[in-house]
Structure 1
């Protein structure tokens, strides 16, 4: 479906005004006082954490939502430090979680969803699903049997178990086109977002609003969606860890973005437990590695293995890999047995890449493959700590025709070309300017083709000019302005 037809579809379905009518204002004055909403009787159920449409394929999608017991998140009450990450000032880590900035209580209830086509005909519907406390009131609904290259509308309904007012929410998405169909495609990526690094006091993050205006076909979040190990609160138990997800998903910019843009998520260390995490490193407070995995799969709309590949028409295939669940200990001596991906994932990757006839291929990884990275880091393929597997991976990727790397994790935007293999890597960059740190401005290394110590996102588009496929990588700032671009013809 063309962009103009897509806009008409969104307008017809009422999505253009929906957020204005229903979306909460986090800093709204009537909700400015602390209140223990988690302990108050539910007066219904709400979509305060929005919903996500994810893992879109040619005929399938995974839908996710969380039922909430309050219509608006708790307001942001704390001032922030004027330095990197903007940590909150005088934040009481021991206060009730229900009173913390951005808190959203859950509610037991029933939820169902319908999918409609452009003629407003229901093509798929679910039964009523229960949102229960053991799953933090989240509901995950896989859908199959859809048509490729088709725009759909998602229609959500929710109500209390005992009955009552039915809440409604709407969104839209498009399925992927057939593999041999040469269609233009645009998608965006970002990384590294901390609740307190917001740059819009009402909506949260300007980057999400800027990405939404581009109307991408899909979005890949490349890791560090939340930070358990940063204050406000430090998430050292299950309740505080869940709060991190509630507060992030309560921001208006994220809610409005996910109404219209399908999502794919890749996890990194801060999403799982703490910095440079691997199984065996030890717990974070009361949270174990397995607790972190449960929370991830509770909040992320994904089915099956955490590594997967997406084909979007004839000219693009994307691989999203898992770098935390299968890795060796970072402190292990480097050699043939030391791995970030694990042998099963490496075999899958080689087999699927070798079988692909897509014009352009992109590996999306939470951590760098080319870098350069800081000498004191030990958890990615650009470091000496995993040099053996890194050398293999760079050599293998550079041998593939028209293959590139897109990564998260680093708090700066960059483009690098590996000196030995010529492999190109594009660092997404942090979601806001005040989250940028870790590299010196002007410290250009031989690998760098672009370096910027600011926030924003990466926009990637594939199209054809006079029948020739090309791919365009655009680094953009938080307002969506292009700050650097690289274009390659197949």
Structure 2
């Protein structure tokens, strides 16, 4: 992946040099041509034009950089131009990487030295490698480079968070409005979106019709890849491509940068490294979760605007700095965990959830942060008990942090205790957790006065989701860390796996006021109606 560390004038020259080797067809407009050259008349039949079925997407925005992503339908070179002006005056133009069959015709470009505190407008085209004059129609997007400071004061920041899409057989129903949560979130104009995992349901086939309780039919868009559980690399790729068939998601992706982590359904329900699928599960011919995981991870990286870490190209955990007001820390609670179990260990490898290396990273990253607010994006909630109900695992097995015993920390809870203790001892202020996974929304305040483990500073955890999946819960609460559940979006005893048609799909919005430095967090339903809100004053 190119590292565009050059100033704008050098980037323009680089574009010209790269484009010269491709022919005049690589140019995005006459402005990119040398002064004495004249842009050729390009006449291209629609059949020869590369297509961009997934639109454009941006993500991993931090400080003054961002990833721009897209996918085409043939071997082609990505061409990008961007400007602070909507009319693309003074645009920087770059010939980007190749989209080939090896990466499923996806491409991403890392834009550097961007103007902070401004909305950046960009356009993407692809140039057919076999026909140099064949260019795709341009697809436009924009992104906010948050973290700007004007006259000594930081800009306000707004972000959204949620997770869980295309789950339990609830896919894209165009008659209902598709993935309506994406359109509802878009109306808040967030600077970025935290996708807390279960971005696909690789283990959840989608059928053309599902009968609802009232006798009506929920009609899904269907594809070959979503008609079965994902096992091959192309199966996983097809799951990501399926979600981009939704017009709401494409529109959202073109306007709001993504920060993406994964959870279980990117691979298979409740998976962990080293797991072998038991004979009770008959849908799989490939039994090794490590094999499935490697294929799923490749597809996830191909189909998202990830900034790849050259030193650790499989790394999912990372942080994003948004100036003096906010830093976001994305955890990976899949890659390093021990096996799911009764979760009562007194220590050791089997109790790992983050693992030692990631634990060292999050501690040091929090310690170094100078931003007022530190948002930890966890792909699983802290105190909601999540049992592992797969048919090939023993009863009494747990999937998340909590083990349901309401006692002193044990099992994976030991890592929570370790991190919370570190935050208190180093007086790290204003830490907020956001998550998804459980398919309902909630707001929980944790305080040592209510807890079995008391060495921590009080903090909040907010749960969003699902984006478009079955609604479940509410879950049992483990009392180890003193949770006070202030809000739950669904009543107890509700029928499980409610369809999106009931509008019980949820997301969160965080807003940081630059003047007061207070963070307001609100929870919303599928149509964007506010269902809960709390203002969090910053700790001095």
Q: Same fold (TM over 0.5)?
A: yes
TM alignment of 1:295-374, pairs within 5 A: 295-303=299-307, 304=309, 305-331=315-341, 334-337=345-348, 338-373=351-386
Match of 1:463 in 2: 513
> Cα RMSD (Å) of the superposition?
2.8
- Counterpart CA distance in 1 for 2:56 and 2:244 is 9
Give yes or no for the alignment of 1:275 onto 2:287: no
Match of 1:447 in 2: 484
Q: 1:204 aligns with which of 169, 174, 178?
A: 178
TM alignment of 1:47-62, pairs within 5 A: 47-62=52-67
- Counterpart CA distance in 2 for 1:397 and 1:382 is 20
Q: What's the offset of the Cα at 1:193?
A: 0.7
Match of 1:138 in 2: 106
Match of 1:221 in 2: 195
Residue pair 1:150, 1:174 contacting (<8 A) in 2 also: yes
5+ long unaligned stretches in structure 1: 1-40, 69-106
**How high is the TM-score relative to the length of structure 1?**
0.77
**How high is the TM-score relative to the length of structure 2?**
0.70
- Counterpart CA distance in 2 for 1:479 and 1:389 is 37
Match of 2:8 in 1: none
Match of 2:155 in 1: 183
Match of 1:37 in 2: none
Secondary structure of the 1:294 match is helix
TM alignment of 1:107-256, pairs within 5 A: 107-118=74-85, 120-127=88-95, 129-163=97-131, 164-178=134-148, 181-194=153-166, 196-198=169-171, 200-201=173-174, 203-231=177-205, 232-256=227-251
- Counterpart CA distance in 2 for 1:139 and 1:435 is 32
Q: 1:479 aligns with which of 521, 524, 527?
A: 527
Q: Compared with structure 1, are the counterparts of its residues 407 and 397 closer, same or farther at alpha carbon in structure 2 (3 Å cutoff)?
A: farther
- Counterpart CA distance in 1 for 2:253 and 2:124 is 14
Match of 1:428 in 2: 464
Aligned residues: 408
Deviates more, 1:108-117 or 1:331-340: 331-340
Q: Compared with structure 1, are the counterparts of its residues 440 and 381 closer, same or farther at alpha carbon in structure 2 (3 Å cutoff)?
A: closer
Q: Compared with structure 1, are the counterparts of its residues 114 and 378 closer, same or farther at alpha carbon in structure 2 (3 Å cutoff)?
A: same
Q: What's the offset of the Cα at 1:150?
A: 2.3
As a proportion of its length, which structure holds more helix?
1
- Counterpart CA distance in 1 for 2:319 and 2:530 is 28
Match of 2:10 in 1: none
- Counterpart CA distance in 2 for 1:329 and 1:441 is 22
Match of 2:254 in 1: 259
Q: Max radius of gyration: which structure?
A: 2
Q: What's the offset of the Cα at 1:198?
A: 4.1
- Counterpart CA distance in 2 for 1:377 and 1:126 is 51
- Counterpart CA distance in 2 for 1:212 and 1:285 is 40
Residue pair 2:80, 2:123 contacting (<8 A) in 1 also: yes
TM alignment of 1:2-17, pairs within 5 A: none
- Counterpart CA distance in 2 for 1:242 and 1:402 is 38
Q: Compared with structure 1, are the counterparts of its residues 114 and 446 closer, same or farther at alpha carbon in structure 2 (3 Å cutoff)?
A: closer
Q: What's the offset of the Cα at 1:440?
A: 6.5
Q: Compared with structure 1, are the counterparts of its residues 426 and 397 closer, same or farther at alpha carbon in structure 2 (3 Å cutoff)?
A: farther
Residue pair 2:118, 2:144 contacting (<8 A) in 1 also: yes
Match of 2:43 in 1: none
5+ long unaligned stretches in structure 2: 1-45, 206-226, 278-283, 310-314, 389-395, 404-409, 491-503
Offset from partner CA, 1:265-302 (integer Å, 9 cap, x none):
0111111x111222101365435322222222222221
Offset from partner CA, 1:129-175 (integer Å, 9 cap, x none):
32111111111211212222122111111233222353210011121
- Counterpart CA distance in 2 for 1:227 and 1:130 is 28
Secondary structure of the 1:435 match is coil
- Counterpart CA distance in 2 for 1:438 and 1:42 is 49
Q: Compared with structure 1, are the counterparts of its residues 128 and 381 closer, same or farther at alpha carbon in structure 2 (3 Å cutoff)?
A: closer
- Counterpart CA distance in 1 for 2:523 and 2:466 is 11
Q: Compared with structure 1, are the counterparts of its residues 355 and 132 closer, same or farther at alpha carbon in structure 2 (3 Å cutoff)?
A: same
Secondary structure of the 1:277 match is coil
Residue pair 2:96, 2:109 contacting (<8 A) in 1 also: no
